[in-house]
Amino acid sequence: MNTFTKEDILELVPQQPPFRFIDDIIELNDDGIVSSYKFKPDETFYAGHFPGNPITPGVILLETMAQTGVVAYGIYLASKQMPLNEIQEILTVFTEAEVEFTGLVRPGDKVIIRAKQIYFRRLKLKVEAEITLQSGEVVCSGTIAGMGVRQV
């Protein structure tokens, strides 16, 4: 129905800086999405997590996976079924996750986020997702899901 560019999708993601954890969408197709994000050393959460040894909180990594794998990818998939004005009325909410954390992300690290579709139906999306460091080391992986709901 629509032909959205990667930039259009980023613009439609409701989370925006300083709480958008997607710098660039690298790949986007019917099977999945790949994006990147560089965690800035001055991100506010590093001050207390942990002083003198800052690491990115797991909840932020989960949010990073959800923004790419459920929100941005969900917008792309919805754009194939509905017009822009309807997409703009939809808010994607996070519904479930089963994620294993296996590494650390430190200030200044650039990560690659990958998500592959498990299913997408009636604006419900479930994906297999992972975050890797640029070295290829997997930091976290699992399944996450969300659904689009009309904003009131």
Is there a catalytic annotation at residue 103? no
Using left for φ > 0, alpha for ψ between -120 and 50, and beta otherwise, residue 29 falls in: beta
- State how far the Cα of 141 lies from the Cα of 102, in Å rounded to an integer: 8
Cis bond before residue 18 (omega within 30° of 0): yes
Which helix (H) or strand (E) segment holds residue 100: the answer is strand 90-101
Instruction: Say if residues 54 and 106 touch (Cβ distance below 8 Å).
Output: yes
- State how far the Cα of 102 lies from the Cα of 108, in Å rounded to an integer: 19
- State how far the Cα of 2 lies from the Cα of 4, in Å rounded to an integer: 6
Q: Which of 6, 20, 38, 49 is catalytic?
A: 49
What is the distance, to the nearest Å, from the Cα of residue 77 to the centroid of all Cα atoms in its chain?
Answer: 14
Q: Hey, which residues are catalytic here?
A: 49
